[in-house]
Structure 1
Amino acid sequence: MSKSDSSRPDPRTFLISVAAELAGMHAQTLRTYDRLGLVSPQRSSGGGRRYSQRDVDLLREVQRLSQDEGVNLAGIKRIIELTNQVEALQARLQEMVQEIEKLRSGPRRDAGSTSTSTALVVWQPRNRR
């Protein structure tokens, strides 16, 4: 379920019949998963579903979670949502780290000039009772 490869668009897409075969599922199952929001394939200009390799990998993970781990589809959807959130936060954190590194390695100011703080403050909410 990793999005690490999603930063580069995959030029290959598969028709639903090919994606179903690659994922080891029936095409109707893919339609159901699309309707439930478990996978969101691209659409052709005519409205046909076009599955990327990432989509096929996600379908395989849905199948694994369902069959091997016994997770229901609502649970799988929540797992996918949370995984996507974590990956987005990790990507944003990496961007912020790079920004901080740029600021630190940038030109130094004279001791007499006004400086702007580049400190990073992490806020954490208090425990609610």
Structure 2
Amino acid sequence: MPHESTPRSRMGVYGISVASELSGIDPQTLRLYEQRGLLTPARTEGGTRRYSDDDLVILRRISELVAAGVNLAGIARILQLEADNVRLEVENADLRAENQAEAPRQRAH
């Protein structure tokens, strides 16, 4: 699920009815996915759900997995593993960049 999250894409802007229309998933199912911990939309001070573009990406991935016959527990695990993989890839890239920056200094000694 290659998707680069940005502060803007993480901003909750869509109400549940708009998120439902954009994702093709009915509002009750969106509530169920939240209840099962598959996604956590932002909330207004009054408690209204606000879905972000990142949430819509997750909903697309959930729909793909549901269509493939994966149950909600399996989807939760897959989403967690995918998030862990992205985090590790970022850490690995940071370490590589750090090593490349140190390599010229080490040769100079």
Please report the TM-score for the alignment, with normalisation by the length of structure 1: 0.75
| Distance verdict in 2 for CA 1:36–1:13, change over 3 Å | same
Aligned residues: percent identity?
39
Segment drifting more, 93-102 vs 42-51: 42-51
Q: How much is the aligned-residue C-alpha RMSD, in angstroms?
A: 1.6
Equivalent residue, structure 2, for 1:31: 31
1:12, distance to aligned residue in structure 2 (A): 6.3
Q: Give 2:58's aligned amino acid.
A: L
Q: Give 1:20's aligned amino acid.
A: S
Q: What does the per-residue CA deviation read over 1:21-57, in whole Å, with 9 as the maximum and x for residues that have no partner?
A: 1000111111110110111112222222111112112
Equivalent residue, structure 2, for 1:50: 50
2:7 to 9, 12, 16: 9
Q: Give 1:13's aligned amino acid.
A: V
Equivalent residue, structure 1, for 2:95: 96
Equivalent residue, structure 2, for 1:41: 41
| Distance verdict in 2 for CA 1:41–1:105, change over 3 Å | farther
Bigger radius of gyration among the two:
1
> 4+ residue runs of structure 1 moved beyond 6 angstroms?
none
| Structure with a larger share of its residues in helix | 2
Q: What does the per-residue CA deviation read over 1:83-123, in whole Å, with 9 as the maximum and x for residues that have no partner?
A: 011111111001101111111134723xxxxxxxxxxxxxx
The size of the alignment, in residue pairs, is 106
1:60, distance to aligned residue in structure 2 (A): 1.7
Aligned counterparts of 1:23 and 1:87: Cα–Cα separation in 2:
23
Structure 1 runs not aligned, ≥5 long = 110-129
- Asked which structure has the greater RCO (Cα within 8 Å, sep 6+), the reply is 2
